[in-house]
Amino acid sequence: MKPHSRSTLLERNKSLERNPLLERNPLLERNKSLERNPLLERNVLLEVRDLEVSFQGLETVNVLSGISFLIKDSETLALVGETGCGKSVVAHTIMNLLPPESRVKGNIEFRGKNLLGMHEREMAKIRGKEIAIIFQNPSIALNPVYSIGHQLAEPIYVHQREKKKTALSRVALALKRMGFANFSECMNYYPSWCSGGMNQRFLIAASTILNPALLIADEPSKGLDKKCIVELEAELGNLKMERNSALLLISHDLEFVQRLADRIAVMYAGEIVEIADPSSLFENPLHPYTRGLLNSLPEKGFIPIPGFSPSLSSLPSGCRFHPRCPLREKRCTQIHPEIKETGQRTVRCFLSP
Ligand SMILES: Nc1ncnc2c1ncn2[C@@H]1O[C@H](COP(=O)(O)OP(=O)(O)OP(=O)(O)O)[C@@H](O)[C@H]1O
Ligand code: NI
């Protein structure tokens, strides 16, 4: 699929906003009010509620607090934020892949089943089959000692107990679909023979071979050159169009996610501070941190946010962003703001309407 250019996406959303007929459409009104009430939503695939994760070491570090979001069927939700804000920990918690020193509270419901506390045997049936993850580093995520064909066929043996021949022919088909003209040859390649971009595409093929309902992609564009990023974007777009998979897209690259996401959740120091659709977020960011992130983009002047993210083991009082916030008031330094929903917008800031 040709990737959406930013302007096309913005134009489409703008024209929808301006069309008075659409605004008065009773069906649309009903859907809008349904969207506002998650209890009445029927197509919620994943619901994360009040998630808290801490790691116990010499001291306890609370890495995630009050994380709540929904992913609907075939929706792409992007999770963005600076390094260390907790994006990968969210992904690993959903997949039940946290190390033993972690402590988790809250709820993660997938198709109505709570994933937290689920027995590993049951989770193993979901992992890879219904929820798949593309890990942050493709060269590490692929096993260097097995051929690409072998690695891609493995989920088919494990989850569907297919015969070797059937599994391998499905792998060949998947590679063909990913645009590898020499797909038969690729089956015999080893990861170390291939470029980062190729390995990234093999990983996507491996993660999607069983048609998961939810795919988690953790920094899929990291370390790729511009050409590979364009290809990756097309690949993820295809996935959405052809297979109806929902996607949790984790990235620090706002521009990359803008073109793919239906909604963007912005994280800061272990919390979500804003959730909005891409055009609202880019045109009218409500949280001062989101505004800072946008201003630091090259086309907006490259103005960095002053200061640094706080260490998760010594968070400031009040709003976690207040030491860097140009708009802070006295209450921001003292009281921790709750996340609030107004209309279609979700934001954690006293100063937003
Ligand atoms: N096993 C662990 N024990 C202790 N702290 C951990 C552990 N795993 C992650 N952390 C801490 O949790 C915080 C969030 O890490 P995470 O990897 O989720 O960040 P991220 O937003 O994905 O960053 P990046 O963009 O660099 O990938 C970091 O401060 C990290 O040091
Ligand atoms: Ni990460």
**For ion ligand 2, residues whose CB falls within 5 Å:** 87-88
pTM of the model: 0.86
Which domain does 241 fall in, by range?
A: 6-130+212-347
Tell me, yes or no, whether 258 lies in a domain.
yes
> In DSSP terms, which residues pair with 55 in a beta bridge?
61, 102
269: in domain: yes
Tell whether the model's pLDDT for residue 162 goes beyond 50.
Answer: yes
Sequential DSSP letters for 258-296? HHH-SEEEEEETTEEEEEE-HHHHHHS--SHHHHHHHHT
**CATH code of the domain covering residue 241:** 3.40.50.300
Contact, 237 vs 204, CB < 8 A? Answer: no
Which atom of ligand 1 is found nearest the CA of 92?
18
Smallest CA separation from ligand 1 atom 5, residue: 55
136 occurs within a structural domain: no
Can you give the pLDDT at residue 272? Answer: 98
> Is residue 251 one of the residues assigned to a domain?
yes
**Residue 50 and residue 11: Cα distance in Å, rounded?**
35
Q: Does the model's ipTM exceed the 0.95 cut? A: yes
Q: pLDDT by residue (tens digit) across 180-189?
A: 899 999 999 9
- Predicted local distance difference test score (pLDDT) of residue 353: 77
The count of domains in the chain is 1
Q: Is residue 164 part of a domain?
A: no
Is 187 domain-assigned?
no
pLDDT at 27: 42
Contacts of 337 (CB under 8 A, 6+ apart): 318, 319, 348, 349, 350
**Which of ligand 1's atoms lies nearest the C-alpha of 311?**
29
Rounded Cα gap, residues 266 and 80, in angstroms:
5
